[in-house]
Amino acid sequence: MGITEKLKHMHILEEDDKSASPKPHEQQVAHVDSHVAQQAAVVAPTTEPMTSAHYPYPTIAPVEAVASDKLQKLRDKTNFDATEVGALLRKFLVPLEGLGLDEKTKYKAALATANAQQGLTADKVLETFDTLLTTLHGEQGNFQRALDQFESKEIKDRQNRLKQVSDQIAQKKKELEDLTAQLSVVSGQLARAQQDEQQVQNDFSKAMQARATEISQQKERYSTLLK
C-alpha cells in the first residue's frame, strides 16, 4: 500500500469542497400569539423518524471550499439534531409543519410546548451548540495523534533510513552506484510523504475553520429563532 493510500485509511478527517449558499433571514416576529400557543400546546410530539425531508441541513453563509469527507465527518460528530436536545426540539417542530407559521413563530411554539412537557429551554438549546464546539475542538487532538503516528512511520523512518544509506555510501565506495540509487528512491519517498503530510494538515485546518464557522452561524440562527 502506497503513502497516499495509507493516508486515506488513517483516522484523518476530510471535508466538503462545496460551500453552502446563504439564504436571507426570514422576517422575525415579536412573540407567539395566543392562538399559535394554544395549537402548539395540544399537538402531540411526533414519533415518526426524522429525515432530511423533514428538516434539511440548514443553509448558512458560504465557507472556503474544503475537502468533502473531512467536513462531513466533522458534521457527523457535531450534529445538533443527533443530540438529545436537538432531537427533542425537532420532535415538537414536526407537528407544526403545514400550519402556515413563519419560522420564528414555529420554533418558539415548539420550544414553548417542549418546555411545558419536557422542561426544554432556549438556554439548553444554545448550550448544546457550545458543547458541539467543544467536541469539534476535541477532534484536533485525535487528528494530531493520527498525524504523529503517520510522521513516525512515514517520515522519521525514512529519515533514519536516509542516514543509514548515506553512511553506507561513505563506507563502501565500490557499492556507490547501487547505494546512490537507493538514496534517490528514499529521498523521493520522503519528499512525497512530507507533501502528503502538509496537504493533510492544510485540509484539516480548513475543515476545522469551516465547521466552527458553520456551528457559530447555526447557533446565532437558533438564538434569533428562540429568544
Domain boundaries, the chain: 3-226
Question: pLDDT at position 53, please?
Answer: 39
Question: pLDDT at position 207, please?
Answer: 93
Q: Which residues, including other chains, have CB under 8 Å from residue 173's CB and lie 6 or more apart?
A: none
CA dist., res. 39 & res. 84, Å (int): 24
Question: pLDDT at position 6, please?
Answer: 37
pLDDT in tens, the chain (227 residues): 443 343 344 333 333 333 334 433 333 333 344 444 444 444 444 444 444 334 444 545 455 566 678 888 888 888 999 999 999 999 999 998 888 889 999 999 999 999 999 999 999 999 999 999 999 998 888 888 888 888 877 888 888 888 888 887 778 777 777 778 888 888 989 999 999 999 999 999 999 999 999 999 999 999 998 87
φ, ψ at 17 (rounded to 5°) = -95, 10
Q: Which residues, including other chains, have CB under 8 Å from residue 208's CB and lie 6 or more apart?
A: 74, 136, 139, 140
Q: Which residues, including other chains, have CB under 8 Å from residue 216's CB and lie 6 or more apart?
A: 133
Beta bridge partners of 114: none
Tally Cβ neighbours within 10 Å of residue 60. Answer: 19
* Total-model pTM: 0.47
